[in-house]
Amino acid sequence: MHKPPICPGRHHVTNRHRQSPGHHHRKKRQQQLRYPRHDQRDPVPTLKPRFPQKQRKPQTTSVELFIRQRPVLMIALQEMACHNVNLVSPSHQTAAFVMALPEAVKSGLSIPIVYNCGGYESMQTLNLIDGIVDIYMPDLKYSDPAMSLRYSNAEAYPQIAQSAIKEMHRQVGNIVVDEKGIATRGLLIRHLVLPNNIAGSVKTLEFIAREISTDTYINIMDQYHPCFKAIEHPLLNRGLTGSEYYAVLEHAKSLGLTRLDKEDLRGHWL
């Protein structure tokens, strides 16, 4: 039986019976790089931008996992006093995770599930995890299809990501934190400000204020640094200026977006 693809913009279907690794380089016997704590993780991008901001190798050894092993790892994280199970760039393994979750819950899993992604999610995937994910943490990278095409080869990214994030908010609402300030449910959006307005930050913030909620928790990031092939692109071959970054922050505040992640609190809420 033919199954529709999970990736919304790259409509590829991989023959798992022949153990083809596919676009995401995952064989039938899924490989999971890690189950580290939050401060040890090294995200795997779902898009391939020309300005990757992560050049370090993963700090943990690659371990081949069967679906039946995943509940054990989730329970292990809980026993390590982790605040949540943080699924990083999980789109291509969502079905395997959903299959593993009932056994983990049966074994006592009670900490929140975080879906940590690039925003490039299909409605098929989001419908599958509706009622399962507690916290969505997507990127919203671009607002201009031309920039998305030029720098990430994904012209439809803005439209797909905006639709996906609206659905995420419908499912979980705004961020809710406990008495210790730790998130237990809701949506957090990350946005990396790029030099020369490549990311279209103003339009991104206007979309959030208009279509999501002015109470949305947003991490407006300023850590862009040109590396790898980014130095070959005139508009990307320099770092972000302070004036560029603070202009975006001020615009966010003018729109009524006040739940902005503070520099000294980043990472604390998870």
> What's the confidence (pLDDT) of residue 38?
53
Tokens at 30, concatenated: 């899924």
> What's the confidence (pLDDT) of residue 105?
96
Tokens at 106, concatenated: 């049966």
Are residues 239 and 179 in contact, defined by beta-carbon separation less than 8 angstroms? no
Q: How far apart are CA 268 and CA 19, in angstroms?
A: 40
Clarify whether residues 98 and 130 are in a common domain. no
Are residues 208 and 251 in contact, defined by beta-carbon separation less than 8 angstroms? no
pLDDT tens for residues 154-191?
A: 999 999 999 999 999 999 999 999 999 999 999 999 99
96 pLDDT higher than 90: no
Clarify whether residues 105 and 120 are in a common domain. no
pTM of the predicted structure, to 2 decimals = 0.79
Clarify whether residues 161 and 250 are in a common domain. yes
Q: CA Rg, the chain, in Å?
A: 19
Print the domain residue range for 74. 64-82+92-109
> What's the confidence (pLDDT) of residue 252?
97
Domain count, the chain: 2
Under the banding of pLDDT at 50, 70 and 90, the label for residue 35 is low
pLDDT tens for residues 37-74?
A: 555 443 334 566 666 655 554 444 333 455 678 899 99
Clarify whether residues 100 and 210 are in a common domain. no
Q: Which domain CATH number covers 132?
A: 3.20.20.70
Clarify whether residues 98 and 189 are in a common domain. no
Clarify whether residues 130 and 251 are in a common domain. yes
Residue 127 lies in a domain: yes
Clarify whether residues 120 and 76 are in a common domain. no
Residue 260 lies in a domain: no
Clarify whether residues 69 and 134 are in a common domain. no
Residue 176 lies in a domain: yes
